[in-house]
Structure 1
Amino acid sequence: MFGHLLRRLPVVSAVAALVVLAAAACSSGGSSAAGSSGAGAAPIKIGAICTCSGFSSETAMVSTYKAWVAQTNAAGGINGHQLQLLVEDDAGNPGKSVTAAHTLVGKHVLAIVDMTNDDETWASYVAAAKIPVVGGGTSTTPMFTNPDFYPEGQTEQALFPSIVQSAKTAGATNLGLIYCAEAVQCQEGIQPLKDTGKSLGLPVVYAGEVSATAPNYTAQCVAAKQAGVTALFVADITAVAEKVAGDCAQQGYHPIYVVDGEILANQFLTAPGLKDSLVSPSPNLPYFADAPAVTAMNTALDKYAPGLRTNATDFTEIADEGWVSGLLFGAAAKAGGLGAGGGEPTSAQLVAGLTALKGETLDGFAPPLTFAAGKAHPIGCWFVTEVKAGAFSVPNGTTPTCVTTQ
């Protein structure tokens, strides 16, 4: 209910950078291409539908996927075929998102990377065209309900269990909720969260609505404190989470904070309240983890997307998902023999490779991935992340946590 909205809610501080961000990822015509074809072998065309412009733009996932394409091509491509990434910008408009899908199908892409929240508008169309959706943002409904969507990490149906279990493991005895006022879906998430909390032994004892444009959140902090909330789940954007924690700290209220992993950002390390006690479930091994796979990603990003990792606004868990989506494509291509032996690469080969994966962890970046043919692919595991004393940590390392029952 909450996860996919967090990339859609307006972030006022980002508006000034909007034109620069959009230009970095997309052309003025709404589409762009990255990579090049080899001299002889047919190129492997990958499509991406992104919300690269508009009030809720997000471009870092495109940048990290482009870096993966560049590194793969520099190493010889896949089975001698160079990769081409064709990016279509839907600007957060459902109609444009449908048009983008039609454009990519017309350009004969083998797969689509889902970097938009409007995927339900074109899901049936790409399925009819027999084009798989391989990775991207994992918090939309098709990612855990549609057999033609292949997520690279935890999907949305596991959000509430992951929030509750993370808070409980951190020592909470109950849970409070701060939710967004901008979308009805946020209100619709209250009862399911309460039901999950009850089933897992962590009751939800407070729920308060906030607007991203409110001058302060003092009233909500006081109410949560009076309710005895020990862990506070802020189901909103990064800026709101920072403001809520800061206002609560001013009231002498210091709960354990819980946020969706997709809004994790470096500014949490210095934010009052958040820097001292925060726990979060991340869809993939986070970008700050001390692991060989993360080091390899960072090395590639510094070469092919210079400046991205030093941009605190852009380099977040969402950026991480772009890179891991590329790894998923690469693993499926290898397993399916995509274009091997000089043959023409096909979507059918890629799907065969996806369904051949059994417990694939993408070098530790993903929870074990197994995709059964003809069935939906909900992923119910995540990576627990923490912030304490102004530092990130991944207490379980590359070992994911999965949905449990009471």
Structure 2
Amino acid sequence: MPGIRGKCALRLGVMAAAVILVASACGSGDSDDSGGSSTKARPTAPAPKGTPIVIGSVGHYSGFAGATSKASADAVSAWAQWTNDKGGINGHPVKVVVKDDQADPSKALAAVKSMVEQDKVIALVGSHEAGLEAVWEKYTTGKGIPVVGGSSNSAAYETDPLFFPTAQTAANYVALWANAAKLAGRHQVGAIACAEVPACQSMFSLVKRAAPAVGVTFASGLAVSASAPSYTSQCLSLRAKGVDAVITGTAQEVTTRFISDCAKQGYKPLFVIPGQSYKPDVAKNPAHEGAYLANDSFNWFSDDPAAKEFRDTMSIYSPNSPLNASATAGWAAAVMFGKALATATSAAPTSADVVKGLLARPAEDTLNGMIPPTTYREGKPATVAPCGWYAQIKGGKLTAPHGNKAICLG
């Protein structure tokens, strides 16, 4: 399937020239945000005493997007503590270095150089950048540093052999977002995007191209300002054009106000919200009733064993971090990293060991259902099948109306 490029809502405000969107996930049954309380005790294996394995996570972990995007780094750190409490990786403890780039290109490059040259990281794992991978990609590739997953919506995950996606890539996400409308029985798709940054509106042309591929029509795209006192005129405009599903490319607070203003006019289309910007209080807000979430890795609230293990670990090691698609993307990246080094025999594991382990993963690997079918290829970019998961807010809870497995296009 041809790739289509875009960018997820919270990151739309800080896009690089290649605008990108990410897609994802659905589970089975009804559940609240947490999927239930933890049933897992903290592991108590002897402390690992081998040479530490140092990994890094860089991203926009403060300010506008920080409250939700930092969940990716939190998940990597939780995985590392959980792994160490189980004895580490072949007796090696894992250390995680987290750097906040504040969505600043120069700070992003400086952070990565610091992690590589001073902290001696052997891989970047579960990073949640704001499209800034482009400023340090050449540096990490030149150093032979593998970049393992996290939010995999940079163009580098589709072009660079040392970028190993563990979540849906940009090439597929817009189509998967539009597919949410089709799954809900809607036909006329619209979109809203932040007005403050011109690049935000790039999503309109991307959705327009993606819509026919999944059998829906793109009818309208509107820029909305966070400072606008009302969105009544935009709501009426979308209704006049017959839009029955709206893809949201704005901050969650703006989306909530937009939905409420439309409801006051008796206009209640389906709203599609990116799972990476999800906050636990969203489902509990009556304004979001019926909205769909599109995620780029597994649903955190499902009953699958992998999801339960993720929730249990987060409840022990990072209980205050929001559970969303940012967190699951970080967790999947960390798990993949651990799998890659599981058979390494080096006294001091290296970047080359990580790459070797990743390339040894099976074709169309799903990591026990946590990621879209993904194939890593030596000397070539990875390929990711256009599959995602979907959730819906019903009765103040997250539900999975389309089952627990990833839904693939084509």
Q: Same fold per TM (> 0.5)?
A: yes
Aligned partner letter, 1:262: Q
Matched, 1:143 2:147: no
Q: How much has 1:39 moved relative to structure 2? A: 6.8
- The aligned runs of 1:53-132 (5 Å cut-off) are 53-57=62-66, 58-106=69-117, 107-113=119-125, 114-117=127-130, 118-132=132-146
1:33 aligns to what?
none
Match for residue 52 of structure 2 among 17, 21, 43: 43
1:235-270 per-position Cα deviation (integer Å, ceiling 9, x unaligned) = 222112211111111111111111223223333323
8 Å CA contact 1:154, 1:378 repeated in 2: no
Match of residue 335 from structure 2:
327
Aligned AA (1:353): G
The unaligned stretches of length 5 or more in structure 1 are 11-36, 309-313
| 2:377 counterpart SS class | coil
Normalized against structure 1, the TM-score is what? 0.85
- 1:371 Cα deviation after fit: 0.9
Q: 1:102 to 1:330 in 2, by over 3 A?
A: same
Q: What SS does the corresponding residue of 1:386 show, helix, strand or coil?
A: strand
**1:186 has 2:200 as partner:** yes
8 Å CA contact 2:50, 2:91 repeated in 1? yes
Indicate how the Cα distance of structure 1 residues 55 and 201 shifts in structure 2: closer, same or farther if over 3 A, else same: closer
Aligned residues: 368
Distance change in 2, residues 1:352/1:212 (3 Å)? same
Matched, 1:401 2:407: yes
Correspondence 1:6-405 to 2 at 5 A: 6-7=10-11, 9=13, 40-57=49-66, 58-106=69-117, 107-113=119-125, 114-117=127-130, 118-275=132-289, 277-308=290-321, 314-334=322-342, 337-338=343-344, 340=345, 343-358=347-362, 359-379=364-384, 380-404=386-410
Deviations along 1:36-58, one digit per CA (max 9) or x if unpaired, are x9775211111121333345434
The equivalent residue for 2:40 is none
Distance 2:165 2:188 in 1: 31
- Structure 1 pair 376/321, CA: closer, same or farther in 2 (3 Å)? same
| More contact order relative to length (CA 8 Å, sep ≥ 6) | 2
Q: Distance in 1 between matches of 2:396 and 2:95?
A: 40
Structure 1 residue aligned with 2:27? none
**1:4/1:140 contact within 8 Å kept:** no
Q: Secondary structure at the match of 2:120?
A: coil
Q: Classify 1:260/1:144 alpha carbon distance in 2 versus 1 (closer, same or farther; 3 Å).
A: farther
Partners of 2:265 and 2:351 in 1: CA distance: 56
Describe the SS at the equivalent of 2:221.
strand
Using structure 2 for the length normalisation, give the TM-score. 0.84
Partner amino acid, structure 2, of 1:243:
R
Shift of 1:213: 2.0
Aligned to 2:28: none
SS at 1:122 equivalent: helix
Task: Report the secondary structure of 2:186's partner residue.
Answer: coil
1:330-357 CA distance string (max 9 Å, x none): 12222xx22x2x6221111111111111
Contact 2:161 2:381 in 1 (8 A): yes
Report the CA distance shift for 1:375/1:198 in structure 2 as closer, same or farther (over 3 A). same
Contact 2:286–2:396 (CA under 8 A) maintained in structure 1: no
Residues 179 and 235, structure 1, Cα contact 8 Å, conserved in 2: yes
- Name the CA distance, whole Å, in 1 between partners of 2:265 and 2:394: 20
Structure 2 regions of 5+ residues with no counterpart?
Answer: 15-45
What code does the residue aligned with 2:134 have? E
Aligned 8 A contact 1:38 1:81 in 2: no
Q: Please report how far the alpha carbon of residue 140 of structure 1 lies from its aligned counterpart in structure 2 after TM superposition.
A: 2.2
Measured against aligned partners, the alpha-carbon deviations of 1:189-248 in whole angstroms (never above 9, x if no partner) come to 222211221343311112211012212211111111111111111122211221111111
Percent identity between matched residues is 31
After superposition, the C-alpha distances for 1:130-156 in whole angstroms (9 at most, x for unaligned) are 010011212222222322111111111
| Superposition deviation, residue 366 in structure 1 | 1.4
* Contact kept? 2:148, 2:165, Cα under 8 Å: yes
Q: Which moved more, 1:265-274 or 1:279-288?
A: 265-274
